[in-house]
Amino acid sequence: MTATLGATPTIVLVGHGMVGQRFLEALAERGLTATHRVVVLCEEPRPAYDRVQLTSYFSGRTPEDLSLTDLRFIEDHGIELYVGDPAESVDREARTVTARSGKVFSYDTLVLATGSYPFVPPVPNKDAEGCFVYRTIEDLLAIEEYAKKARVGAVVGGGLLGLEAAGALKGLGVETHIVEFAPRLMPVQVDEGGGAALLRTVENMGLTVHTGVGTQKIVVGEDGAVTGMKLSDGSELAAGMVVFSAGVRPRDQLARECGLEVGERGGVAVDEQCRTVTDPRVFAIGECALASDGRVYGLVAPGYEQAATAAATIAEDEAAFTGADLSTKLKLLGVDVASFGDAHGTTEDCLDVVYSDSRAGLYKKLVIGKDGTLLGGILVGDADAYGTLRALTGSVPPVSPESLVLPAGAGAPAQLGPSALPDDAIICSCHNVSKGTIRGAVTDHRCTTVPEVKKCTKAGTGCGSCVKVLGQLVTAELEASGIEVDKGLCACFSQTREELYEIVLALRITTYQDLLDRFGRETARGTDGCDICKPAVASIIASLAPTIGASGYVLDGEQAALQETNDHFLANLQKNGSYSVVPRIPGGEITPEKLIVIGEIARDFGLYTKITGGQRIDMFGARVEQLPLIWARLVDAGFESGHAYGKALRTVKSCVGSTWCRYGVQDSVRMAIDLELRYRGLRSPHKLKSAVSGCQRECAEAASKDFGIIATANGWNLYVGGNGGATPRHADLLAQDLSDAELVRLIDRFLMFYIRTADRLERTSTWLERIPGGLDHVRDVVVHDSLGICDELERLMRAHVANYRDEWAETINDPEKLARFVSFVNAPDTPDPVVGFVPERDQIKPDLPLLSIGLRPAEDVLEGSAQR
């Protein structure tokens, strides 16, 4: 049948993805939905959803959470949306579109937003059972189901989508390999240095990367299902499933069949108004369009701009799409990766400013013109400055280039923040929103929250990479206007973590649910809360347990449900599903008898053993059902939990001190043991590390710890706020020449003041730089008692020390708690078959097969070894 049109002009939109939905919104903004009949033919069984955030489905977001379609919007604007009914053919002469259902729609204007399709290399058996593409929610549902029976998976493609797919497989518990034909990961976005930093980080996460090789054949078994891959270097890779994510191609088949001009490499050819060059009544937008500059844009921001251009042209307004910003910022496998502007330095006579820390997986490069103009850059491992740097692209920054890439504490001047940007700086490239527009949303439209500013300006509603800068700008503008800013912990609580700590302490609140029901936001009361506040409140209750009358045992009652992953089993989960057991060895001091016990346990349970940099002996490879058996033997020998799994004190490292060393001036081993036994089990906003050096030679590296002690001839010097992790920071001297009693008293105060005032997951190094007044304020409070709270801080610590109980011992003596230590609740005696090991260097390692990645020049091998 052919629809009867009457006098109302009709716009038919083919495709309802992100760009198609943005086109509908642009039509509505211009009033065209009131003057036109709008028909949408959608191929997928669901309306438009956020494909950029597709991988978040594996982190718990539902298809409904990903939806971009407000059905009230569709209804209010009279849009006819046909889901699961794609266009099959177009008759340009008759101006009709025929859908798969057989319905025929006449059009006055036809808009093609058919997007792209995944490129699958033309290799034998590419359609075998166990082969997938990574493009739609339905693809993810299929991958999720098949992964239940696959032990090893391979992803073909190491670009943006490939790394997302690899992250998804890894999250599903599948041993994952990445096969990339180019010599590095993300070859389009990052250069050789950025690719090297990304590779190191990805491999450290337990993924195996094969670069410089292609896929020659998918190997299948007798049942026709995937069993592996044959690579171009002659090697074979065993894999039970394969995900093709090697790029996309424009979906232009419909256009080809109706005679529209397409590019040599695909894409419907359009002019600057997004009209097809063949037919002025037909438009093409998004990934199916070949723009007038000869490019097919595969990012959402250009697609949104094309959608707005097409809607303006239909409304007979002036608009043109002449190109777009290709900047991108993503978090792939938990790693920040960003590129902007002329990232590869193609401009003549440009210079590079590079900061690289291979150990930390950081790589930052800025491309600077000879006149000082910022032309572009690449950020790997730390992309916090992306929003500011991208907005400054094309201008001469007001600070030196090195200050824009050097990390805090590395000698650079104060880094530039978004408040220094001019009002015409583009903050959201997806919707072309400037800083001035964001400020106007706060001052002129009375927006007081980031969600309100998003709704008002659309900033932050695209790829989301600008949300952090958006929040900083909104906060700065509100504070400048004298408006109170919501600094609540999360959507459940309007209070900060510090304020919740005070509430729990003052009112002796012992459960998360009680706190949420009494002090949570109205919208959160009666709910289960969220993943942000649950572990944060659990930590507060645990740190105050003896004072408020709560159980300090993290697996008691409600507390067990609030804990983060490792705390659930009081052990560290490893890459193959096994666990590590880390007994406490205070000060690194251990008797031969205890060494023998550890050796016997490791031998009897077949565990991998390693002496760590924190002066402990770690045992790896324990199955979940073996943990209580191992703990029982350790507890009998006098060991206890080392809390390597918790946000708590990890270790107090030490040198041998004056007892043995001819340079030592104080007994550092004794002090390290005393401090570790005093603060063991202390739950805090983040992990705590300490060290005691017996002299100024600093063999224990105390100046890189959260609290570090260095001996002097007159006593002890106390340093605080150090961090030797991804963002190294040298600790600051808090007090010097302290007696034993003075030292312990100041550490008590410092730790409890930190626990009281820090934000969730905030290390002491970050806290010390954030807290108003910094070190001087902390010294005033902790040393000089400027707030009059030191007696309380000391009392809280005394309560913790007096009530400490070993979590391992508590667990093995409680049959009810032991019931949780099984791989399968419905089959408690069945070990997890996925947990496997292979021999290496007379020990074991996870059964993750090493495969050939091709030969490299000898100097490359040597360089890689040196870096490792």
Return the percentage of the chain with pLDDT > 90, whole number. 52
Q: Are 655 and 700 within 8 A, CB to CB?
A: yes
For residues 648 and 535, what is the distance between their CA atoms, to the nearest angstrom?
13
Return the percentage of the chain with pLDDT > 70, whole number. 93
3-state secondary structure 579-621: EEECECCHHHCCCHHHHHHHHHHHHHHCCEEEECCCCCEEEEE
pLDDT at residue 776 is higher than 90? no
Section 726-733 average pLDDT: 80
Confidence tier at 416 by pLDDT (50, 70, 90): low
The pLDDT value given to residue 407: 62
pLDDT at residue 6 is higher than 60? no
Q: Are 100 and 85 within 8 A, CB to CB?
A: yes
For residues 415 and 181, what is the distance between their CA atoms, to the nearest angstrom?
38
Environment class of 601 (CB within 10 Å of its CB; exposed 0-12, middle 13-18, buried 19+): buried
For residues 314 and 579, what is the distance between their CA atoms, to the nearest angstrom?
61
State both tokens at 797: 């610590």
Phi first, then psi, for residue 830 (nearest 5°) are -100, 120
Confidence tier at 867 by pLDDT (50, 70, 90): very low
The pLDDT value given to residue 855: 31
The pLDDT value given to residue 5: 45
The pLDDT value given to residue 417: 65
Kindly state the DSSP code that residue 12 receives in the 8-state scheme: E
State both tokens at 83: 């889901």
**What is the number of alpha carbons within 13 Å of residue 152 lying toward its C-beta?**
18
Give the residues across from 362 on adjacent strands: 357
pLDDT tens track for 179-214: 999 999 888 788 888 888 888 888 877 889 999 999
Phi first, then psi, for residue 568 (nearest 5°) are -60, -30
The pLDDT value given to residue 335: 72
Section 221-239 average pLDDT: 94
For residues 160 and 143, what is the distance between their CA atoms, to the nearest angstrom?
18
State both tokens at 480: 């400048």
pLDDT tens track for 480-516: 877 777 778 888 999 999 999 999 999 999 999 999 9
The pLDDT value given to residue 333: 66
Section 86-98 average pLDDT: 96
For residues 583 and 645, what is the distance between their CA atoms, to the nearest angstrom?
11
Q: Are 111 and 24 within 8 A, CB to CB?
A: no
pLDDT at residue 28 is higher than 90? yes
Could you tell me how far CA 165 lies from the centroid of its own chain?
A: 14
CA angle 855-861-863, nearest 5°? Answer: 150
360-384 burial: b if 16+ Cβ within 10 Å, else e: bbbbbbbbbbeeebbbbbbbbbbbe
For residues 726 and 384, what is the distance between their CA atoms, to the nearest angstrom?
14
Confidence tier at 59 by pLDDT (50, 70, 90): low
Most confident of 271-280, 468-477, 759-768: 271-280
The pLDDT value given to residue 465: 67
State both tokens at 391: 């907005």
Question: What is the radius of gyration, based on Cα positions, of the chain?
Answer: 30
For residues 660 and 669, what is the distance between their CA atoms, to the nearest angstrom?
10
The dihedral formed by the CA atoms of 389, 392, 394 and 400, expressed in degrees to the nearest 10: -80
Section 6-13 average pLDDT: 86
Section 624-635 average pLDDT: 94
Of 210, 202, 205, give the one whose Cα is nearest residue 182.
210
pLDDT tens track for 324-355: 777 777 666 667 788 888 888 888 888 888 88
Domains of the chain: 10-116+250-314 (3.50.50.60), 120-246 (3.50.50.60), 325-416 (3.30.390.30), 497-563 (no CATH), 564-641+806-834 (3.90.480.10), 648-804 (3.30.413.10)
Section 304-330 average pLDDT: 88
Give the residues across from 329 on adjacent strands: 338
Maximum CA extent, the chain? 100
Q: What is the pTM of this model?
A: 0.57
3-class DSSP state for residue 863? Answer: helix
For residues 291 and 226, what is the distance between their CA atoms, to the nearest angstrom?
39
For the chain, how are helix, strand and coil distributed in percent, rounded to 5? 35, 20, 45
Query: Which residue has 């309007």 as its token pair?
Result: 494
Residue 841's CB: how many other CB atoms inside 10 A?
A: 7
Beta-sheet strands, E only, within 172-288 = 175-180, 208-211, 215-220, 226-231, 236-238, 241-244, 248-250, 268-269, 282-284
State both tokens at 627: 């943990």
Pairing of strands 131-133, 241-244: parallel
Section 44-48 average pLDDT: 92
Q: Are 384 and 766 within 8 A, CB to CB?
A: no
The pLDDT value given to residue 868: 24
pLDDT at residue 271 is higher than 80? yes
Of 296, 257, 463, give the one whose Cα is nearest residue 284.
296
Q: Are 706 and 688 within 8 A, CB to CB?
A: yes
The whole-chain average pLDDT of the chain stands at 87
Q: Are 17 and 286 within 8 A, CB to CB?
A: yes
CA distances from 206 to 175, 461, 470, 785 (A): 8, 32, 34, 48
Residue 696's CB: how many other CB atoms inside 10 A?
A: 12
Give the residues across from 328 on adjacent strands: 339
For residues 190 and 196, what is the distance between their CA atoms, to the nearest angstrom?
9
Packing angle of the helix pair 512-519, 497-507 (nearest 10 deg):
110
The pLDDT value given to residue 614: 85
pLDDT tens track for 358-410: 766 788 899 999 888 999 998 888 777 787 788 888 888 877 877 778 765 44
Q: Which of 124-128, 150-154, 574-578 has the lowest mean pLDDT?
A: 574-578
The pLDDT value given to residue 359: 66
Pairing of strands 248-250, 116-118: antiparallel
State both tokens at 290: 């070949």
For residues 649 and 683, what is the distance between their CA atoms, to the nearest angstrom?
7
337-359 burial: b if 16+ Cβ within 10 Å, else e: bbbbbbbbbebeebeebebbbee
**What is the number of alpha carbons within 13 Å of residue 463 lying toward its C-beta?**
22
pLDDT at residue 649 is higher than 80? yes
Confidence tier at 45 by pLDDT (50, 70, 90): very high
Question: Which residues, in sequence order, are CB contacts of 816 under 8 Å at separation 6+?
Answer: none
For residues 64 and 731, what is the distance between their CA atoms, to the nearest angstrom?
47
pLDDT tens track for 650-709: 999 999 988 888 888 999 999 999 999 999 999 999 999 999 999 888 899 999 999 999
Section 803-812 average pLDDT: 92
Give the residues across from 352 on adjacent strands: 367
The pLDDT value given to residue 3: 42
Section 778-789 average pLDDT: 93
For residues 636 and 194, what is the distance between their CA atoms, to the nearest angstrom?
50
pLDDT at residue 792 is higher than 70? yes
pLDDT at residue 419 is higher than 80? no
The pLDDT value given to residue 619: 94
Q: DSSP string of 541-578?
A: HHHHHHHHT----TTSHHHHHHS-TGGGTTSEE-TTS-
Query: Which residue has 């490791």 as its token pair?
Result: 602
Identify the helix (H) or strand (E) that includes residue 393: none
The pLDDT value given to residue 852: 29
Q: Are 181 and 233 within 8 A, CB to CB?
A: no
State both tokens at 114: 């058919």
Identify the helix (H) or strand (E) that includes residue 260: none
For residues 249 and 628, what is the distance between their CA atoms, to the nearest angstrom?
53
pLDDT tens track for 525-583: 888 888 889 989 999 999 999 999 888 788 887 877 777 767 878 888 887 788 899 99
Locate all alpha helices (DSSP H) within 9-155, ordered by sequence: 18-29, 32-35, 63-66, 71-76, 137-146
* pLDDT higher at 738 or 357: 738
